Structure 1
Amino acid sequence: MTAMQLWDFPGGIHPPDNKRQSTTLPIQRPPLPKRLVLSLEQHIGMPAEPLVRVGERVLKGQPIAAATGFISVPLHAPTSGTVGFIDPRPYPHVSGLPVPAIVIDSDGRDEWCDLQPCPDFRSLEPADLLARIRAAGIAGLGGAGFPTEVKLSARATDKIHTLLINGAECEPYISADDMLMREQAAELVGGIDILVHLLQPEQVLIGIEDNKPEAIAAVRAALGERPWQLREFPTKYPSGGEKQLIQILTGSEVPSGGLPADIGIVCQNVGTVVAVYRAVVLGQPLVSRIVTLTGAALERPMNVEALLGTPVGELLDFAGLHAERLDRLILGGPMMGFTLPSTEVPLIKTSNCLLAATAEELPPPPPAMACIRCGECAEVCPASLLPQQLHFFALGQEHEQLRVHHLFDCIECGACAYVCPSSIPLVQYYRAAKAEIRELEQKHQKAEQARLRFEQRQERLRREEERREAERKARQEKAERARARSEAAPVDALARVQAQKPGLSDEQKRLKIAASMAQVALKKAEKQLALHATPELQTQVDELRTAAEEAQRAFEAAQAAEPADAPVAGEAERKQAKIRAAMLRVQLKKLEGVAGETPSTEQQAELQAMRAELDGLQPLLDAPAAPASPDGVAALKRAKIDLAMKRAELKKAEQAGADEAELERLRNALATAEQALHAAEDASGKPVPNLVRIDKRPVDETTRALKTELAYARADLRKLERDEQASAEALQAARERLMEAERKLEENKG
């Protein structure tokens, strides 16, 4: 057999492995605990959300908590029993702070729920395989616990050419993966078969350190004729790190801040691969894991397959803990583990070792001293970092410098602190600095989200203000047009009256009317110019002013050539002129109050126009009125009063429910009063009033429905625009609905 090429990574150390103590016995199964504490935070990422209630009975393998995000996995009951509590419980963390947990009181029957095994996994599509792996709640069992399904879901642009199986287990004291490969090599190879079917890699590399000869032999025997490469390499810490193992077996280096998938590699721990096999082939979710129980304070060091949620105190008692000798209880190995605050914490998916150490075995470190700049930390760093500089930057909270010096490439292996002659706990400083930076990033992200929400709200308010301004301008223009029409009507009437004055010839009448109409057109154009100053409107105003001046000069020349007699105004024209004059005086007084002592150019122009129009009405107001008969006027007033009384009597009788005979009598009396009023009007000598009839056409059902839809669409859009949480898609849909309603109404009018 030809020797396979291996590479090396920079740095590294060779601490005593201390693995033989826990490998003398086969994997044991501790007694079923009476109570299991399932923390909802089992891995890196979002915690799970409970699916059960207190008092509910659950079966082994039943989902009890659901994943709450992309980086999250569900949680399953490790045994059958009853949910006793759902509340905060101690958590395996150096802080000792409690976290939400589901407590299951075991019934001792260990009864499985219905499982869905799939021995013929090759018949499944990749998406179905990934769904089974995610539903089984599998997270990485060799590191921080990254969800396995997410890790296997490589991006479409990342062609995975190498599947790398990590059996290095370089941390001292830990032998869980070693014993798993010895006793469950067949399941390991079956899990690799599933991953190969899922990823279709070009090659499979299995890496195991040379201090595990029994595991190497067992895996090689289980591989059989498969063309995968089992590579044995020299023992060195931390060769089990993902990036370091990739460098050893392939010679490739994962770029700073990158992932193995960026260079076409997926790496999985042997324990995770066995969990994948059980999830797919046997249908069993992840409810247990192999844990190393070791340390000089234990009578029988061993490896056990323990249920998740088992209190660590029960596992230590099973291994024969001598409590009087226990100095420190470490979760994980001596290099990357941390001290537990108590034995009441439960086992979680990432718990691979419990090290019950005595004071002689792991003496407390001496007090930290000042850095002597020896440089040994940089020599052993497997990530080629500058631990000394990172330490100084962490002390000074220089976060930008920490980023520049690639703090987040640190795998926290502890090699730098192991060789430091000043006993400086370097990794603790790095962990604290990472936590500070992540907290600041979260605050910055929240502030950025708040800023975006504020800007979006301001944009919505700006659009709403623009819409209101456009509507206001539209209403103002509509009012200006209506006022222009109302102003033109009295002027037209005045022009007609003055043209009909005695003494005006036909030519004078025509010229007078033309001059008045030219003035009306000029005033309207000047108002439009004041609102919207454009070169086109300015040109139009200049042309209208020239035309008005010519028409006025023509009329004055004709009037000077043919003097007119004193006019006599009709009563109707005189009354209309009085009404218009009164309106003008009110408007003039109001505008003068608004303008004050220093009116603007626009206000001054409008004041001059009003005064000019009022002066134009004055001759009609001063003209002698046509005489009317005093007796006729008095009779007309009596007739109007009598008609009003008859109409009131009829309305009162209708409301009181009078009989038909009485109502008929009152109707006849009302008709007689109306005829009397007409006769009085004819005898009074006053002109007959002009009747203006407005044809109010009834609204058909289609128009009414279209107007109703338009009103609802406009109301819904305004409601969404006021809602800060409204999405852009909902706003766009509401605007399209409003435009469609307006279009249909316009088509119906046409």
Structure 2
Amino acid sequence: MSAQPRIWDIPGGIHPPENKAQSTARELENPPLPARLILPLLQHIGSRTKPVVSAGDRVLKGQLLAVTDGKFSCSLHAPTSGIISAIENAPYPHASGLHEPAIILESDGEDRWAELQPTPDWRSLEPVALLELIDSAGISGLGGAGFPTAAKLLSRPDHRIDTLVINAAECEPYITADDMCMRHYAAQIITGIQILRHILSPEQVLVGIEDNKPEAIAAMRAAAEGEPVSIIEIPTKYPSGGEKQLIQILTGREVPSGGLPADIGVLCQNVGTALAVHDAVVLGRPLIHRVVTLTGAALERPTNVMALIGTPIHELLAFAGLQPERLHRLVMGGPMMGFTVDSAAPVIKTSNCLLAGTIDELPPPPPPLPCIRCGLCAEACPAELLPQQLHWFALGKDYPQLERYNLFDCIECGACAYVCPSHIPLVHQYRAAKSEIRSIELQHSRADHSRRRFEERQARLEREAEQRERDRQARAERAARAKAAREAKAASEKDTPAPVAVAPDLARIQAKNSTLTPEQKQLKVAASTARMALQRARKQLAANPDNLDLQAQIPPLEQAYADAQRAFEQATSQEGS
């Protein structure tokens, strides 16, 4: 075993009570098979999946239920065998409390697998083939926002990944899902990491684990013996499990503002994702379950379970002995970054913890007081932002200043609000400001798109009008030549000199057209466009004489045509005078 590699410190950070021992007193458990599973079509960052099944279909465990829709999407598979009863809006674990389209699966109790295609000799496969297996298994990140794993592994060509970081820090209080995962599946996790190494070919692989997980560290080091994987014990500090923060701790590199880890040659994956990669490649099993922490003082027996994706939350709470009279607030995730959920919602791929807290554990926040400019928030911020300034700009809705002070570098860890003596809900203010800025940017984007479409349409109409004018002039010239030819022929037949009056007419037409200034040509095109618009409206009114809207359009169009024609005539008359 090599010596402990060097580690760096991160700015800020806090040390809230860990409260992890409650849920690690028991072994990893398997709850009863649910009678009904709710499988939302959106369980990751990106676009919803598209169902390939219908109500009434019978499916097997592991069978494909919904396919990806675009690059940033993850397929969805049946966690057990049964019948699809509906595809409809259903409860969804999100802070908004809104429902999402979901596939409803009624279990038949048999838990029969579909035919799997394991790949134990995965080393013989090319990276592209392994990426296809990971993509088809529907794997998304199990430790954060749920970024599709295959898409994350496909870095841009200009990105050379020299360091693979495995995030096993699990810094949030109460959550022990990754801890128990490493204790029970260390060998499989190391195999999953080796598969990721085979795909990326990094120079080094670093696994960061906080030092409050001695059993997990021992299990991982034993499993990684002889492998080119460094198991690094890091000091316990929140939020060391943030992606950018862990990269800085393990490598000393800082992800640039607004940038990605790949910009500095690093790619980060969660330890649970590595286990899912092992299952997908070696066993041929899609992502249909995950380890979930069930904790909080409102539970009689806090524990960790291997839960099927789609299991209703209330069934898992009942398995852990929920005491409803003690439950004050149900949180998905930890107390720092989690959010309140309805127990009717299901577990999804990003659900790592269910915290059933009492009023003593999760008391309602006291009323906020004015900021006293103590600076504690700035000291605690791991992103080295100025939370106090962001607070004032957020209150004043000064969005340019918020962006200038790098609001979007905020990871919403809650450290600033945790140390604030005035109990100001800073993270809520930042989250609302981010949403407002995104909404404004979307509106501007749509307005720019509409403006470009209008300008392109106007340019197209002008080009068409100019082309019609050129065509008309060409027709007039051809008609003049034909008339001259006819008259010349008639004169020759009468043995009289051919009339020459047409030539001056043709010359006059050509001279008139050639002497128009660009401004006069533009006015002429505008008049032609207005005339065509008026003609179209009159035709429509003739076909629908009782249409009041069409009747109301005629006078403004007539006036627009008259004004455009008058402007053109005035411009030409002034030129002639």
TM range (shorter): 0.7 to 0.9
Q: Which residue of 2 aligns with 1:436?
A: 436
Q: 1:445 Cα deviation (Å)?
A: 2.2
- Cα RMSD, aligned residues only: 2.0
How many Å separate the matches in 1 of 2:511 and 2:127?
69
Q: Does 1:171 align with 2:149?
A: no
Q: 1:535 Cα deviation (Å)?
A: 13
Q: Which residue of 2 aligns with 1:456?
A: 456
How many Å separate the matches in 2 of 1:217 and 1:407?
39
How many Å separate the matches in 2 of 1:394 and 1:88?
34
Q: Which residue of 1 aligns with 2:364?
A: 364
Asked if 1 retains the 8 angstrom alpha-carbon contact of 2:63 and 2:78, the reply is yes
Structure 1 gap ranges (5+): 498-515, 538-597, 605-750
| Match runs of 1:417-436 below 5 Å | 417-436=417-436
Q: Does 1:58 align with 2:62?
A: no
CA 1:455/1:129 → structure 2, altered by over 3 Å: closer, same or farther?
Answer: farther
Q: Which residue of 1 aligns with 2:379?
A: 379
Q: Which residue of 1 aligns with 2:147?
A: 146
Q: Does 1:94 align with 2:95?
A: yes
Letter in 1 for 2:179: D
How many Å separate the matches in 2 of 1:38 and 1:448?
38
SS in 1 for 2:507: helix
Q: Which residue of 1 aligns with 2:483?
A: 483
Asked if 1 retains the 8 angstrom alpha-carbon contact of 2:414 and 2:427, the reply is yes
Q: Which residue of 1 aligns with 2:40?
A: 39
How many Å separate the matches in 2 of 1:454 and 1:66?
37
CA 1:271/1:34 → structure 2, altered by over 3 Å: closer, same or farther?
Answer: same
Q: Does 1:528 align with 2:490?
A: no
SS in 2 for 1:305: strand
| Match runs of 1:301-340 below 5 Å | 301-340=302-341
How many Å separate the matches in 2 of 1:531 and 1:214?
96
| Match runs of 1:270-281 below 5 Å | 270-281=271-282
Identity of aligned residues (%): 62
Q: 1:525 Cα deviation (Å)?
A: 4.0
Q: Which residue of 1 aligns with 2:243?
A: 242
Q: 1:69 Cα deviation (Å)?
A: 1.7
CA 1:3/1:104 → structure 2, altered by over 3 Å: closer, same or farther?
Answer: closer
Letter in 1 for 2:349: K
How many Å separate the matches in 1 of 2:213 and 2:47?
36
Cα deviation code 1:27-76 (max 9, x no counterpart): 10000000001111111111112111111111111111121122111111
Asked if 1 retains the 8 angstrom alpha-carbon contact of 2:142 and 2:349, the reply is yes
Letter in 2 for 1:279: A
Q: Which residue of 2 aligns with 1:255?
A: 256
Q: Which residue of 1 aligns with 2:10?
A: 9
Letter in 1 for 2:382: P
Cα deviation code 1:630-665 (max 9, x no counterpart): xxxxxxxxxxxxxxxxxxxxxxxxxxxxxxxxxxxx
How many Å separate the matches in 2 of 1:534 and 1:476?
13
Q: Which residue of 1 aligns with 2:468?
A: 468
How many Å separate the matches in 2 of 1:536 and 1:252?
68
- Of 480-489 and 428-437, the range deviating more from structure 2: 480-489
Q: 1:529 Cα deviation (Å)?
A: 2.5
Cα deviation code 1:541-562 (max 9, x no counterpart): xxxxxxxxxxxxxxxxxxxxxx
Q: 1:110 Cα deviation (Å)?
A: 0.7
CA 1:536/1:427 → structure 2, altered by over 3 Å: closer, same or farther?
Answer: closer
Cα deviation code 1:278-312 (max 9, x no counterpart): 11111111001100000011011100010011110
How many Å separate the matches in 2 of 1:197 and 1:241?
25
- Of 434-443 and 37-46, the range deviating more from structure 2: 434-443
Q: 1:323 Cα deviation (Å)?
A: 0.6
SS in 1 for 2:282: helix
Letter in 1 for 2:463: R
How many Å separate the matches in 1 of 2:453 and 2:183?
57
Q: 1:165 Cα deviation (Å)?
A: 0.6
| Match runs of 1:308-707 below 5 Å | 308-340=309-341, 342-492=342-492, 496=495, 516=497, 520=500, 523-533=501-511
Cα deviation code 1:106-143 (max 9, x no counterpart): 00011111111111112222211111111111110000
How many Å separate the matches in 1 of 2:79 and 2:450?
42
Cα deviation code 1:216-273 (max 9, x no counterpart): 0000000111122111111000000000001001000000000000111000000001
Letter in 1 for 2:292: V
SS in 1 for 2:293: strand
Cα deviation code 1:343-370 (max 9, x no counterpart): 1111111110000111122222211111
How many Å separate the matches in 2 of 1:392 and 1:297?
38
How many Å separate the matches in 1 of 2:280 and 2:294?
26
Asked if 1 retains the 8 angstrom alpha-carbon contact of 2:4 and 2:232, the reply is no
Cα deviation code 1:384-426 (max 9, x no counterpart): 1111111121122221111111111000000000000011111
Q: Which residue of 2 aligns with 1:80?
A: 81
SS in 1 for 2:326: coil
How many Å separate the matches in 2 of 1:346 and 1:447?
38
Aligned length: 518
SS in 1 for 2:255: coil
How many Å separate the matches in 2 of 1:4 and 1:531?
88
CA 1:536/1:235 → structure 2, altered by over 3 Å: closer, same or farther?
Answer: closer
Letter in 2 for 1:9: I
Q: Which residue of 2 aligns with 1:545?
A: none
SS in 2 for 1:115: coil
SS in 1 for 2:511: coil
How many Å separate the matches in 2 of 1:29 and 1:150?
31
Q: 1:447 Cα deviation (Å)?
A: 2.4
Larger RCO (CA under 8 A, 6+ residues apart): 2
Report the structure number with the largest CA radius of gyration.
Answer: 1
CA 1:174/1:525 → structure 2, altered by over 3 Å: closer, same or farther?
Answer: same
Q: Normalising by structure 2, what TM-score?
A: 0.87
SS in 2 for 1:184: helix
How many Å separate the matches in 2 of 1:278 and 1:2?
31
SS in 2 for 1:10: coil
Q: Normalising by structure 1, what TM-score?
A: 0.67
SS in 2 for 1:257: coil
How many Å separate the matches in 1 of 2:462 and 2:514?
30
Q: 1:78 Cα deviation (Å)?
A: 0.7
Q: Does 1:108 align with 2:109?
A: yes
Q: 1:534 Cα deviation (Å)?
A: 10
CA 1:464/1:123 → structure 2, altered by over 3 Å: closer, same or farther?
Answer: farther
How many Å separate the matches in 1 of 2:452 and 2:67?
31
How many Å separate the matches in 1 of 2:313 and 2:390?
35
Q: Does 1:158 align with 2:136?
A: no
Cα deviation code 1:591-636 (max 9, x no counterpart): xxxxxxx9x99xx9xxxxxxxxxxxxxxxxxxxxxxxxxxxxxxxx
Q: Which residue of 2 aligns with 1:727?
A: none
Letter in 2 for 1:67: T
How many Å separate the matches in 2 of 1:214 and 1:307?
25
Q: Which residue of 2 aligns with 1:131?
A: 132
How many Å separate the matches in 2 of 1:374 and 1:30?
48
How many Å separate the matches in 2 of 1:228 and 1:167?
13
SS in 2 for 1:206: strand
Letter in 1 for 2:409: D
More helix, by proportion: 1
Q: 1:536 Cα deviation (Å)?
A: 12
Q: 1:100 Cα deviation (Å)?
A: 0.9
Letter in 1 for 2:135: R
Structure 2 gap ranges (5+): 516-569
